[in-house]
């Protein structure tokens, strides 16, 4: 179990937020502040091998859920807590809810289903990140040019470049544990299974232009594990629903948490 880096704001009923693959807690800062202003104690978290949290060679959902359990213990979070996760963080949140149902009031999952995800679509991202010549890198512009050889979408490159930072000696480094994430990519795609379903209220938020939650998932894989769930679609949003349509996500989460 690793001790996770987190940031906390606001007071009221707790809302814990987990980012996706190659993300950090910063991805949720703006929305987190708004939910805090709306009367919630919001805790944004860096998952293991991401952001400012510790690195480890293992990167399984069981271990990541254990890390989150350690954080719940550390912050003495009670059963009135809502846990929310996006993409990989959504699978961590599902794993945690299924393993520790008594620790949550409800669950929110953003644009991911419990089924197995083929992670080959991340091959270009992994190749791009590993192609950036950190040892000789002079600028972020150079890093973007190296990434562009593998990733043609500027917005994806900008998202990834948020992980690039300067060490004290002025050299560049990546915040994510690239070696571990490259080695464990199959585990990141793993299906979430459980002997018993999570019976408490669950909200799935999907992007209308994303295929991470399909009609098949809405009919089968989601209700099998989360029978007390609803799926809300944000039209004209892709996989990064919260970045593309923050107002819609803000309102959906606020209404669900306050119901």
Q: What are 161-206's pLDDT values in tens digits?
A: 999 999 999 999 999 999 999 999 989 999 999 999 999 999 999 9
For the entire predicted model, the pTM comes to 0.96
Q: Is the pLDDT assigned to residue 218 strictly greater than 90?
A: yes
Q: Is the pLDDT assigned to residue 236 strictly greater than 90?
A: yes
**Last residue within a domain, chosen from 136, 162, 185:** 185
- What is the pLDDT of the chain when averaged over all its residues? 96
Nearest residue to 205 (alpha-carbon basis) of 65, 64, 102, 107: 107
DSSP one-letter string for 176-226:
S-HHHHHHTHHHHTPPP--SS---S-EEEEEETT--SS-HHIIIIIHHHH-
Same domain flag for 105 and 175: no
User: Which entry of 5, 19, 86, 239 is annotated as an active-site residue?
Assistant: 239
Predicted pLDDT of residue 119: 83
The answer to whether 87 is a known catalytic residue is yes
User: Tell me: the pLDDT tens digits for 93-123?
Assistant: 999 999 999 999 999 999 999 999 888 888 9
| Polymer length in residues for the chain | 259
CA distance 145 to 151: 10
CA distance 166 to 185: 26
What's the distance, CA 181 to chain centroid?
14
Is residue 162 within 8 Å of 24, Cβ to Cβ?
A: yes
For residue 241, being part of any structural domain is answered with: yes
Range of the domain at 154: 120-185
User: Which entry of 53, 86, 87, 229 is annotated as an active-site residue?
Assistant: 87
Same domain flag for 222 and 125: no
For residue 156, being part of any structural domain is answered with: yes
Give, for 16, the enclosing helix (H) or strand (E): strand 13-18
Q: Is the pLDDT assigned to residue 41 strictly greater than 90?
A: yes
Distances (CA, A) of 31 to 5, 152, 252: 18, 28, 12
Same domain flag for 196 and 154: no
How many structural domains does the chain have? 2
Q: Is the pLDDT assigned to residue 209 strictly greater than 90?
A: yes
Q: For residue 191, what are the contacts with CB-CB under 8 A and spacing of at least 6?
A: 114, 115, 116
Give, for 123, the enclosing helix (H) or strand (E): helix 123-131
Same domain flag for 100 and 204: yes
**Last residue within a domain, chosen from 134, 160, 185:** 185
The answer to whether 239 is a known catalytic residue is yes
Same domain flag for 89 and 202: yes
pLDDT band of 129, cuts 50, 70, 90: very high
Q: Dihedral of CA 153/7/42/48: which sign?
A: positive
What phi and psi, each to the nearest 5 degrees, are found at residue 59? -145, 65
Predicted pLDDT of residue 121: 81
| Buried-exposed string 159-194: b where 16+ CB fall within 10 A, e elsewhere | bbeebbeeeeeeebebbbbbebbeebbebbbbebeb
CA distance 12 to 40: 4
Same domain flag for 44 and 152: no
pLDDT band of 221, cuts 50, 70, 90: very high
- 3-state SS, 234-247, equals ECCCCCCHHHHCHH
Predicted pLDDT of residue 12: 96
Using DSSP, state whether 39 is helix, strand or coil.
Answer: coil
Bridge partner list, 8: 43
Predicted pLDDT of residue 47: 98
Same domain flag for 111 and 130: no
């Amino acid at each position: 179990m690793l001790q996770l880096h987190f940031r906390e704001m606001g007071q009221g009923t707790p809302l814990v937020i987990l980012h996706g693959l190659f993300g950090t807690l910063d991805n949720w800062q703006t929305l987190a502040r708004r939910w805090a202003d709306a009367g919630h104690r919001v805790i944004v978290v860096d998952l293991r091998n991401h952001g400012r949290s510790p690195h480890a060679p293992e990167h399984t959902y069981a271990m990541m859920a254990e890390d989150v359990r350690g954080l719940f213990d550390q912050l003495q979070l009670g059963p009135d807590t809502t846990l929310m996760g996006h993409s990989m963080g959504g699978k961590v949140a599902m794993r945690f809810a299924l393993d520790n149902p008594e620790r949550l009031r409800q669950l929110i999952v953003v644009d991911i289903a419990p089924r197995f995800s083929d992670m080959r679509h991340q091959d270009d991202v992994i190749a791009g990140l590993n192609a950036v010549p950190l040892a000789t890198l002079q600028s972020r512009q150079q890093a973007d040019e190296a990434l562009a050889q593998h990733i043609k979408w500027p917005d994806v490159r900008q998202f990834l470049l948020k992980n690039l930072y300067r060490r004290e000696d002025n050299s560049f480094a990546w915040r994510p544990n690239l070696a571990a994430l490259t080695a464990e990519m199959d585990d990141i795609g793993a299906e979430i299974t459980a002997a018993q379903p999570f019976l408490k209220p669950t909200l799935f938020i999907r992007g209308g232009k994303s295929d991470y939650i399909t009609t098949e998932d809405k009919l089968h894989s989601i209700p099998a594990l989360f029978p007390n769930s609803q799926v809300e679609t944000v039209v004209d949003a892709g996989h990064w629903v919260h970045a593309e349509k923050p107002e819609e996500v803000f309102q959906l989460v606020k209404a669900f948490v306050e119901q």
